[in-house]
């Protein structure tokens, strides 16, 4: 032990030599942005409050209808006020993830209390913003799954809590082991499928997938996967009689590679596992996309891998850049790969078309919208024809902070500081909110577009 200090110093020096950071200038820019976000959020909410009061007073005086969205021929108004805000009802910080806000029929379910002990799940009437119920959950909770009249929520390290969606009454709890954290879940019929991981530093405990009876929370089966891996946030994908989940390395060198696993939906027995050729750690919020007997999955190595869902055999792979898979449309697998939207032949992986959409800053999301595909990239949203790859429109609305949502005649995008509505056919901006510190992608339900701000306030806009 006498030379422990020398060994530690030698190792620290080796690591210091390999260290690489963005630099002081970039750090100062980030720090300035943070200061402005905090300040801007406070100012924006004060303005919103004033705007809301003015609007309410005006309506009481002359009984006018709420403002309708303007015609697309007029200049797009900015600073559009919400129809309702939840005020202080959820005035704790929201987890900065898109899985904190979910639409469920005429309700919107949100979790608050990220970073503190007072975590809660709340349900709001999407139409009016009235709070229907709140349930104490424990710290850092998120909505695990919604469906079949149920909402399942879980704090960072469990338990899984089954709530009656209509009343918020707790019906069951499913306890997890110490340090075991749940990922997103999938409700299929009367069963909840959910994966769990052990995310503590240094932990290499294998992930566990559970099938729980939705009505009681009783375990039907559990499947233990490979040591040294974690499951990703992506909810398990139900593919006929099997469940598909992809894992990733817990940390560098903790396992040889990540895999796509197929588990029997009735028993949890492993049917096959496919090598994703990824000896790195990856972080993906989406699971595999399944269509026509193939599963298409992005690997941490930046490959798009197509796997036969019956055998687990790899059918093809594309190594042309990190993919975000939108899905299958017009007979093609469509993915955002680097700075291009690409249409792949589903059987062979041949590139049928590719369209530059520009990358750059902001979050990259790609979603199908009818016969088009929408991507947030390059400081805005772009719509591309799924069959030909032709660009239909671009809307320079700013860097996206979450997935775009198409509903009715609009596409809604939460940018870093505004909620923006663009015309679904032309991409023309129709309206935008006042400046907000947004923390969620929009959800659309019951004729409202709902977003959450960083301090846990929910805002409901007319479409």
- Rounded to a whole number of angstroms, the minimum distance from the CB of residue 183 to other proteins is 10
Is residue 163 left, alpha or beta, with left meaning phi > 0 and alpha meaning psi from -120 to 50? Answer: beta
User: Quick check: bond before 159 cis, omega within 30?
Assistant: yes
> Which CB, 40 or 338, lies closer to other proteins?
338
Task: Give the residue carrying structure tokens 């946030």.
Answer: 233
- CA dist 144 to 101, 265, 340, Å? 11, 19, 32
Binding residue for other proteins (CB under 8 A) from 129, 138, 162, 282?
282
Other beta carbons within 10 angstroms of residue 56's beta carbon come to 11
- Rounded to a whole number of angstroms, the minimum distance from the CB of residue 304 to other proteins is 11
Q: Dump the DSSP string for 79-108.
A: SBPPSEE-GGGG-SPPPSSGGGEEEETTEE
- Rounded to a whole number of angstroms, the minimum distance from the CB of residue 92 to other proteins is 17
Told to check if 354 binds other proteins by CB under 8 A, we report no
Strands 380-385 and 332-337: unpaired
- Rounded to a whole number of angstroms, the minimum distance from the CB of residue 15 to other proteins is 4
Output Rg (C-alpha) for the chain, integer angstroms: 23
- Output DSSP code: residue 195: E
Site for other proteins in 32-61 (CB under 8 A): 34-35
Stretch binding other proteins (CB under 8 A), from 193-201, 310-318, 384-392, 450-458 = 193-201
- Rounded to a whole number of angstroms, the minimum distance from the CB of residue 18 to other proteins is 4
Q: Please say whether the dihedral angle defined by the alpha carbons of residues 244, 248, 253 and 257, taken in this order, is positive or negative.
A: positive
> Which CB, 129 or 288, lies closer to other proteins?
288
Phi, psi torsion values for 328, nearest 5 degrees: -110, 125
- Rounded to a whole number of angstroms, the minimum distance from the CB of residue 98 to other proteins is 9
- Rounded to a whole number of angstroms, the minimum distance from the CB of residue 79 to other proteins is 26
- Output DSSP code: residue 415: B
Told to check if 1 binds other proteins by CB under 8 A, we report yes
**Binding map of other proteins across residues 79-118, x = CB under 8 A, - = no contact:** -----------------xx---------------------
**Binding map of other proteins across residues 355-394, x = CB under 8 A, - = no contact:** ----x---xxx-----------------------------
**Binding map of other proteins across residues 131-150, x = CB under 8 A, - = no contact:** --------------------
Told to check if 284 binds other proteins by CB under 8 A, we report yes
In the chain, how long is the greatest CA-to-CA distance?
Answer: 85
Task: Give the residue carrying structure tokens 């704790």.
Answer: 92
Told to check if 280 binds other proteins by CB under 8 A, we report yes
- Show Cβ contacts of residue 250 under 8 Å, excluding neighbours closer than 6 positions: 197, 198, 199, 203, 204, 228, 229, 230, 281
Cα pseudo-dihedral 103, 105, 107, 113, rounded to 10: -40
- Rounded to a whole number of angstroms, the minimum distance from the CB of residue 252 to other proteins is 5
> Which CB, 90 or 335, lies closer to other proteins?
335
Site for other proteins in 3-32 (CB under 8 A): 4-5, 7-25, 27-28, 30-31
- CA dist 185 to 144, 195, 212, 306, 335, Å? 5, 7, 10, 23, 24
- Rounded to a whole number of angstroms, the minimum distance from the CB of residue 281 to other proteins is 8
Told to check if 321 binds other proteins by CB under 8 A, we report yes
> Which CB, 137 or 309, lies closer to other proteins?
137
Phi, psi torsion values for 419, nearest 5 degrees: -95, 125
> Which CB, 77 or 96, lies closer to other proteins?
96
- Closest Cα to residue 352, out of 369, 335, 368? 335
Q: How far apart are CA 133 and CA 220, in angstroms?
A: 30
Site for other proteins in 214-243 (CB under 8 A): 230, 233
- Rounded to a whole number of angstroms, the minimum distance from the CB of residue 196 to other proteins is 12
Told to check if 322 binds other proteins by CB under 8 A, we report yes
- Output DSSP code: residue 446: T
Binding residue for other proteins (CB under 8 A) from 113, 138, 181, 236?
181
Q: Dump the DSSP string for 256-275.
A: S--EEEEEETTT--EEEEEE
Task: Give the residue carrying structure tokens 């190792």.
Answer: 11
Binding residue for other proteins (CB under 8 A) from 51, 200, 238, 347?
200
> Which CB, 84 or 284, lies closer to other proteins?
284
- Show Cβ contacts of residue 353 under 8 Å, excluding neighbours closer than 6 positions: 342, 343, 388, 389
Task: With beta carbons less than 8 A apart as the criterion, state whether 393 and 426 touch.
Answer: yes
Site for other proteins in 291-320 (CB under 8 A): 300, 302
> Which CB, 376 or 457, lies closer to other proteins?
376
Both tokens of 75, joined, read 């200049």
> Which CB, 293 or 321, lies closer to other proteins?
321
Binding site for other proteins (CB under 8 A): 1, 4-5, 7-25, 27-28, 30-31, 34-35, 96-97, 156, 179, 181, 199-202, 230, 233, 250-253, 280-285, 300, 302, 321-324, 338, 359, 363-365
């Amino acid at each position: 032990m006498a030379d422990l200090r020398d060994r530690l110093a030698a190792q620290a020096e080796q690591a210091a030599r390999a260290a690489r950071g963005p630099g002081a200038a970039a750090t100062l820019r980030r720090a300035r942005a943070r200061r402005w976000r905090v300040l801007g959020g406070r100012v924006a909410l004060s303005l919103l409050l004033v705007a809301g009061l003015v609007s309410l007073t005006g309506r009481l005086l002359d009984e006018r209808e709420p403002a309708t969205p303007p015609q697309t021929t007029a200049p797009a108004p900015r600073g559009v006020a919400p129809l309702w805000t939840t005020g202080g009802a959820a005035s704790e910080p929201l987890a900065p993830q898109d899985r904190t806000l979910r639409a469920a029929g005429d309700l919107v379910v949100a979790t608050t209390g990220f970073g503190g002990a007072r975590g809660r799940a709340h349900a709001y009437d999407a139409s009016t913003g009235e709070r229907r119920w709140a349930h104490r959950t424990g710290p850092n909770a998120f909505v695990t799954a919604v469906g079949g009249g149920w909402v399942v929520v879980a704090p960072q390290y469990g338990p899984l809590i089954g709530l009656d969606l209509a009343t918020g009454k707790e019906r069951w709890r499913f306890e997890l082991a110490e340090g075991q954290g749940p990922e997103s879940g999938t409700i299929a019929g009367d069963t909840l499928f959910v994966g769990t991981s052990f995310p503590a530093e240094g932990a290499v405990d294998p992930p566990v997938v559970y099938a729980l009876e939705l009505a009681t929370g009783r375990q039907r089966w559990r499947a233990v996967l490979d040591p040294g891996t974690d499951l990703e946030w992506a909810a398990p994908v139900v593919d006929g009689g099997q469940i598909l989940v992809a894992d990733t390395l817990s940390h560098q060198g903790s396992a040889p590679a990540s895999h796509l696993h197929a588990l029997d939906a009735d028993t949890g027995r492993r049917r096959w596992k496919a090598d994703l050729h990824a000896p790195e750690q990856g972080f993906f919020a989406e699971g595999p996309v399944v269509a026509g007997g193939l599963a298409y999955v992005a690997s941490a190595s930046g490959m798009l891998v197509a796997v036969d869902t019956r055998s687990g055999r790899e059918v093809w792979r594309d190594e042309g850049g990190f993919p975000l898979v939108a899905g299958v449309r017009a007979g093609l697998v469509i993915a955002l790969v680097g700075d291009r939207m690409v249409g792949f032949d589903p059987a062979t992986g041949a590139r049928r078309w590719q369209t530059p959409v520009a990358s750059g800053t902001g979050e990259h999301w790609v979603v199908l919208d009818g016969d088009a595909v929408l991507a947030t990239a390059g400081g805005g949203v772009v719509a591309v024809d799924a069959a030909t790859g032709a660009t239909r429109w671009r809307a320079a609305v700013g860097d996206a902070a979450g997935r775009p949502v198409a509903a009715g005649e609009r596409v809604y995008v939460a940018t870093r500081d505004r909620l923006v509505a663009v015309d679904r056919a032309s991409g023309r901006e129709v309206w935008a909110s006042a400046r907000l510190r947004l923390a969620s992608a929009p959800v659309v339900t019951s004729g409202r577009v709902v977003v959450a701000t960083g301090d846990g306030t929910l805002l409901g806009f007319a479409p």
